[in-house]
Structure 1
Amino acid sequence: MTIEFTSYPFTAQHYSARLPSLGGGVETSRHAVAIVGGGPVGLTLALGLAKHGIRCVLIEADDSVCFGSRAICISRRSLEIIERVGALDRFLEIGLPWAGGRSFYRDDEVLHFKMPQDQNQKLPPMVNLAQYHIEQYLLEAAERQADLIDIRWQTRVEKIETRDDGTTLYLSTPAGDYALEADWVAACDGGRSTIREQLGLMLQGTSYEGRYVIVDIKLDSERPTERLAYFDPVSNPGSTVLVHKQPDNVWRIDYQLRDGEDADQAVKPENVMPRVQSLLDMMGEKGAWQPIWITVYKANALTLERYRHGRVMFAGDAAHLVPIFGVRGANSGIDDADNLAWKLAYVVRGLAGDELLDSYSDERVYAAHENLSYGTKSTEFMAPPSFAFELMRNAVLSLAVAHTELRSLINPRQSSAITYADSSLNEPDRDGFTAGPVPGAVLPECQLTIVRDGEAREAHLTDLIEPCFTAFVFGENGSLPAAFARLEQTVDATGVRLRCIPLAEHSQKGLPGLHGWDRTGRLFAMYGARAGSVYLVRPDGHVLGRWHDASAETVGAAIARALHTLAHAI
């Protein structure tokens, strides 16, 4: 049951759907990619494809961005992805950054945690931003790519047919029904996925009995932005309460229902308002407030066994449902989109065999199990599923007041980037690196100076990542070895883009082209690199391979193996 009280301070703009007048016919043009679902995952995927020059049609049943209380926390990894697809500025302009939080047991603070944040980072660990904002800012970026992203509002999928060579979507709109042909379909249509249902697929895993009331309120407060968790608070004895500050003076409050409470009764304003007021009194918040949104949430830890089914790819909640604790839902979906975008683009362009899409399923199913593992631990701590769990949880909380060494057990384990340790794309890691990201890991951030044709600017390593393969060639100066310059030309001639970028220990003036300079003295040490080391990075920022004293031929062969093609050309 959901109750909406007032409009959010942000008003979603409504868009008239672009509807073909086909009178029940078949749209004449065939699409390379159809994306079903215009939420954060579908929009991120569309933007990612556009970065590779791939056109898509995005199908959305609603007539605007979402409303109501959904995802609110965007992780650093998601912000990196959003930056690469060209939508970051508004996220940082409006979003509220935070780097930690506090947990309380009754009246005592039992944990004050901080997420990793140091001088190398350019983005905050987490930003609070409601999903209607998230979708709006991604939509604005998509509309700037209207030549590549065809958004169709008020368009509902009624049926899908799949074949070895493509798919047919049967669509319903206010202007009439029609069929659409697509080579590939990305199902980003949420937890109640029509595409998943049409294909007869079932999510596997655990659904928890514990239920939470989610309340969004409007409250003007100067309290800093951080994650607040209250266990067995005086305002709601026997319950667990989470509090997050959002932009526009909106606050998200989640509180656990007690066993036996009726959910329909629990969301009635006369039952919600006293609990919220009691919480605010306990927190010392004296300002006037009003409710905006009330709903009930039940935690699920579910996933499909595979995310590729022939010509159909699943992403986001259509592929997996992750508990809200640890904020892995929307963030894992954005990561799905980032992983899928470059692989699907390479397959569509004929630059990779479609086996590359199997690696999307393998990597992201692995990531889902990692996220579900952490989410399950957090869920069982936040809402113990049995008396034994509750007894253990309360013992940890009570002992943590005096024994700081136990406080790590309370840590909510916020979302972080997943390392694809066993990916089939990874090159063997045999060169004895003592530091740095292993194959499958996300490229860690580090400050450096970027020099282009003698013009220098202060930046970060990930500013050098584009929608292509990147080989970082470490050396004493900023000169690119001739063999790697030739490799760039050879790979580019196949249609696969490669950038070989020298990273220098010492500043070099007057060099042509592009190089990075390790001005802080941290980069080489962080990466365990020396002159001659090479890191090969995928278009999504994950390391494909690393070597000391690698030859250009070794790097070219790694790209060819990853794409399952082009070995004869590289």
Structure 2
Amino acid sequence: MNAALTEHPTASAVGAAGATLPPTLDPGALPPSVGDFHYTRFAPWTPPLESGVEPGQHPVVIVGGGPVGMSLALGLANHGLRSMILEADDTVCVGSRAACISRRSLQIVERLGALPAFIEKGLAWTGGRSFYKTEEVFRFEMPHDTQQKLPPMINLEQYYIEHYLLDEIVRRNERQAGLIDIRWATELTGFTQGDEGLTLQVRNPQGEYELRAAWMVACDGGQSFVRKALGLNLDGTAYEGRYVIIDIELHSKHPTERRAWFDPPWNPGSTVLMHRQPDDIWRIDYQLRPGQDSQAALEPDAVREFVTRHLQAIGEGDLPWKCVWTSIYRAGAMSLESYRHGRGGRILFAGNAAHAMPIFGVRGLNSGFDDADNLAWKLAQVARGLSDASLLDSYSDERIAAFHVNAESAMRSTEFMSPPSRGFDLLREAALSLAGAHPEIARLINPRQTEAVRYDASPLSTPDMEHWPCGPMPGQVMPDLPLERGHLSDLLQEPGFALIVLAAAEAESSARQRAICAQARQQAVAQGLTLQMHDLPRSPGSQATFEALGAGDEGAVYLLRPDGHVAARWRQPTAQALVDSFARAAARKLHATAPASPVQEAQP
């Protein structure tokens, strides 16, 4: 699942205040239940073979069935493309792992169909507090108001994330005749490349066989087999700081917020983080000091001693607790130079197989969701022959650019949370000691939580030709603004491109605007592409949204990509401008036809 976090199960023990540690598991035994979550083992399956080879060719094989792999499969299914997932494990992951899901990721999950379960189980939060020793020195709030459809962040353990995505895959297969084939307990052991695709060697407990794929996507985590088989390396910055993760079951009444303690008296010279998760599971991350042994820190006695000391220091030492999972990690910001490789560029990378991100600012899995969202529609377009294969180069270019934007913020947070040198350490100590009395200095402590990235230099975007006072620029994600009823995102659940038409104030201009957009839409659909059109009429309830999108009396038109990023925008577009921009965003040539009359084309 997420190979960047390696599980270290600990032996059974009992600690102070009724604390218990998880038992050592027998090989093949189910992982113990955590709160309301109960694990299931999924049996391997071998298809009918001919001389050890599965007949036919899979359009897409996804290596790795974690959140990124399953999200990609669901995204491809949204666009009608079949895929097969190879997952080496036979259960969803063990441990909280990636546990913070951003608003942007929730918007993606909504398009995948799994949002209700995420929202029902996840714990929404909007901010957090930071302490220097025992003094609170900073409090932050993420952008949020009553007009927002989704919270800025929810906490939800990765095993729930994977479980809910799997539930949606099952529902999707029932509706769409098995678009997604998951091969549990099936490991990729090798592959060869040809002009028309790849031949994969796989192994499960029933034996070995081969299968063929037109495209392969590596979503197999930080220790990616595919990446290593191609001799590729992640380049960037690796930090020396090491962090221990301890998940505990604790019936605390403390609200859901992010808490960080810098140089606390109960763990001097270190940083400690704490997050509430569903089912009364609390995630504690703490920094190991130089010279501390990683494995020794995971021993039952060391875990019990640290957690007991920490809970006593924050006033919850009398509460019984139980350890349910431990792990250790190093922070790093590293990436492949390209996310597209192999003969004909038929091997793609996403998630931790493509990049590593420090957890500070929760950009790891959230970046992976964005990878899957960006890749799904592009791979579906290319695989179905609707777009030139160069569209996949834009996936690599855009997501590598996003990596550098995310890495810059994450590295600043990491250098503050885990100083890489004595100089950084002294700077942090000075900032923390002054933060309580100087709010402007306290801003240095801001964890810089993840937010949607703009694709500044995307070849799919059409640059603005007019002055816009406000509104999302080409390359930015369309904000989820309120409408008279519901929100903009409610209109964008169907797969494909979308035209958002914000009506002009004058009726004749508005009719002409709709006619031009309807004509462009018909041309795109006639040539095999999907383009939805949504009219937004003017009303008192839509005034704020029109203003936020820069739509004055002349109105406005936005062309959105299937991943919700703005491809182009106009005040009064021509049919040719619409067709040209759509062709650029879809990486194919479109042919404009003679303009139709406004009366005939006033409705899509």
State TM-score, norm by structure 2: 0.89
2:8 to 2, 6, 9: 2
1:424 aligns with 2:459: yes
Greater shift after overlay, 532-541 or 77-86?
532-541
SS in 1 for 2:567: strand
1:78 to 89, 105, 108: 105
Greater shift after overlay, 23-32 or 414-423?
23-32
Output aligned runs, 1:425-444, within 5 Å: 425-444=460-479
| 2: CA distance, partners of 1:569 / 1:178 | 49
Identify the residue that residue 126 of structure 1 maps to in structure 2.
153
1:357-402, Cα deviation, whole Å (9 max, x unpaired) = 0000000001111111111111110010111000000100111010
Identify the residue that residue 320 of structure 2 maps to in structure 1.
288
SS in 1 for 2:543: coil
1:336 aligns with 2:368: no
Identify the residue that residue 588 of structure 2 maps to in structure 1.
565
| 2: CA distance, partners of 1:14 / 1:275 | 33
| 2: CA distance, partners of 1:482 / 1:322 | 46
Identify the residue that residue 56 of structure 1 maps to in structure 2.
83
1:236 aligns with 2:264: no
Identify the residue that residue 489 of structure 2 maps to in structure 1.
462
Distance 1:271 1:367, change over 3 A: same
Output aligned runs, 1:265-414, within 5 Å: 265-285=296-316, 286-309=318-341, 310-414=345-449
Unaligned 5+ residue runs, structure 1?
450-457, 507-517
Shift of 1:12: 1.9
| 2: CA distance, partners of 1:441 / 1:481 | 24
Output aligned runs, 1:25-36, within 5 Å: 25-36=52-63
1:505-533, Cα deviation, whole Å (9 max, x unpaired) = 12xxxxxxxxxxx6142111101112341
State TM-score, norm by structure 1: 0.94
SS in 1 for 2:9: strand
Shift of 1:295: 1.7
1:474 aligns with 2:505: no
1:16 to 43, 53, 57: 43
1:494 to 518, 522, 527: 527
Shift of 1:101: 0.3
Shift of 1:468: 1.0
SS in 1 for 2:77: helix
Shift of 1:69: 3.4
Pairwise CA RMSD of aligned residues? 1.5
Identify the residue that residue 452 of structure 1 maps to in structure 2.
none
Shift of 1:562: 2.2
SS in 1 for 2:169: helix
| 1: CA distance, partners of 2:366 / 2:90 | 24
Shift of 1:21: 4.5
Matched-pair contact (CA < 8 Å) for 1:242–1:253: yes
Shift of 1:430: 2.3
| 2: CA distance, partners of 1:257 / 1:40 | 28
SS in 2 for 1:416: coil
Matched-pair contact (CA < 8 Å) for 2:62–2:217: yes
| 2: CA distance, partners of 1:192 / 1:130 | 21
1:154 aligns with 2:185: yes
| 2: CA distance, partners of 1:150 / 1:48 | 14
1:227 to 258, 262, 265: 258
Identify the residue that residue 534 of structure 1 maps to in structure 2.
557
1:190 aligns with 2:212: no
| 2: CA distance, partners of 1:176 / 1:201 | 29
Shift of 1:23: 7.5
Matched-pair contact (CA < 8 Å) for 1:120–1:445: no
Matched-pair contact (CA < 8 Å) for 1:163–1:311: no
Greater shift after overlay, 261-270 or 71-80?
261-270
Matched-pair contact (CA < 8 Å) for 1:23–1:178: no
SS in 2 for 1:183: strand
| 2: CA distance, partners of 1:233 / 1:434 | 47
| 2: CA distance, partners of 1:21 / 1:164 | 25
What amino acid maps onto 2:69 in structure 1?
G
Shift of 1:566: 3.1
Identify the residue that residue 453 of structure 1 maps to in structure 2.
none
SS in 1 for 2:149: coil
1:105 to 132, 141, 147: 132
Identify the residue that residue 521 of structure 1 maps to in structure 2.
543
Matched-pair contact (CA < 8 Å) for 2:203–2:209: yes
What amino acid maps onto 1:241 in structure 2?
V
Matched-pair contact (CA < 8 Å) for 2:461–2:584: no
